Homo-oligomer: A and B are copies of this chain.
């Protein structure tokens, strides 16, 4: 599943690839830098486009994380952002010339929301989306503002055929393997049929990430019985319970099941899912702060804390959002991994590795198959209506005076053939 999958989009045949990143002149800094490159890799997915300009610690930490992803996981990347700055950072890491660069002038600010996707057609995220549309990248990693990344990629990549609304999937740190929660915030208002589609997206995602053939799917609700919930979840339960859409529906789950590992996938609308996710994060942070206080309150307790330090640090790492790689926007014509805005290098490395695994697992194709299964069921009709991102004219009409901007073709000199490492400057 890793490194052996087909590219997620049809591509024109290319000559044998010269100079893959891990065969470059990168000096080995970490203990086992080439382990990942021993995987069988006869057909490898297209590179992952990394937005080097999004995030609180851009571009230093983003580029450091990207370099680590190349070294430690053998991921093929293309870095999008201000080329001179990227070159300087790569030089500092001693890998100048081994990772392709695509220049982008503009960046979305961290405070910018959805409208920025219209105002900045040449932002690094818009250019990265363009690379995916051109078939020159398979996925996109960004630590930019979630609203900006979601809006830009919805506008540029458009919704996948048959998918009504996209969803953000996150992996919650349960045992023995993570639990997928979606939607964590892409679509705040959704119809019951949309929740069924989210179940299909989550199933495809869990198949690749967890390696489970038929992942169990729970509906996030306020009681386990079928009749519980609000209007949305009551109807969604009815639809899911028919069992005619290739989803292994396990019934309702509640708030305390988010970390219990009871099901593989938990489905919610983007409003509820976002609140549940942030509640988990906030509660974990509070619990650790309280425990740290309790542990250092007396000399005896401080002594106790010293004896436990290593195990507690491991535990904290496991529950830290940074280690589980960020959210993934599913349902568009290309995979978008959204790292936390506060991401440091380690989180970006995880995000690049996640994007690589999803591209190698052909996530877009799998979603197409899963959603087709829901369409051929008795709910067929509701997928033939509107499709997300498919109505630019209508959308422009919503905002008088605004027109859908054209994505410019990046000038030839800034878009190198991704298979040819660019000349060093």
**Alpha-carbon distance A221/B220, docked complex (angstroms):** 17
Identify A294's interface contact among B268, B276, B297, B311, CB under 8 A: B311
* A212 interface hit (Cβ, 8 Å): no
Residue of A227, A291, A301, A307 ringed by the most chain B CB atoms within 10 A: A307
CB contacts under 8 Å to B, within A394-421, are none
CB neighbours (8 Å) of A315 from chain B are: 290-291, 294
Q: Is the CB of A233 within 8 A of B271?
A: yes
* A159 interface hit (Cβ, 8 Å): no
CB contacts under 8 Å to B, within A133-191, are 147, 185, 188-189
**Alpha-carbon distance A308/B259, docked complex (angstroms):** 26
Q: Is the CB of A301 within 8 A of B311?
A: yes
**Alpha-carbon distance A221/B272, docked complex (angstroms):** 9
**Would you give the 0/1 interface string for A236-271, flagging 1 where the beta carbon is closer than 8 Å to chain B?**
000000000000000000111111100000001111
CB neighbours (8 Å) of A23 from chain B are: none
CB neighbours (8 Å) of A28 from chain B are: none
Identify A255's interface contact among B282, B290, B304, CB under 8 A: B282
CB neighbours (8 Å) of A290 from chain B are: 315, 319
Chain A interface, number of residues (Cβ within 8 angstroms): 61
CB contacts under 8 Å to B, within A293-327, are 294-295, 297-298, 300-301, 303-308, 311-312, 314-315, 319
In the assembled complex, the CB of A377 is this many whole angstroms from the nearest CB of chain B, namely: 27
* A391 interface hit (Cβ, 8 Å): no
Identify A308's interface contact among B223, B275, B279, B301, CB under 8 A: B301
In the assembled complex, the CB of A166 is this many whole angstroms from the nearest CB of chain B, namely: 15
* A95 interface hit (Cβ, 8 Å): no
Q: Is the CB of B305 within 8 A of A286?
A: no
Interface SS of chain A: helix
Chain B residue nearest to A270 (CB atoms) is B222
**Alpha-carbon distance A233/B307, docked complex (angstroms):** 47
**Alpha-carbon distance A300/B310, docked complex (angstroms):** 11
Identify A274's interface contact among B225, B255, B274, CB under 8 A: B255
**Alpha-carbon distance A143/B99, docked complex (angstroms):** 63
Residue of A221, A256, A272 ringed by the most chain B CB atoms within 10 A: A256
Q: Is the CB of B274 within 8 A of A276?
A: no
Q: Is the CB of B279 within 8 A of A255?
A: yes
* A92 interface hit (Cβ, 8 Å): no
* A26 interface hit (Cβ, 8 Å): no
CB neighbours (8 Å) of A271 from chain B are: 222, 229-230, 233, 272
Identify A222's interface contact among B220, B274, B295, CB under 8 A: B274
**Alpha-carbon distance A111/B42, docked complex (angstroms):** 57
- Contact status of A282 and B258, CB under 8 A, knowing A225-B113, A271-B222, A294-B315: yes
* A85 interface hit (Cβ, 8 Å): no
**7 pairs of A and B residues whose beta carbons are closest in the complex:** A255-B278, A256-B282, A304-B304, A304-B307, A255-B279, A283-B283, A188-B230
Known: A230-B269, A295-B311. 5 other contacts (CB 8 A): A113-B227, A222-B278, A287-B319, A294-B311, A300-B308
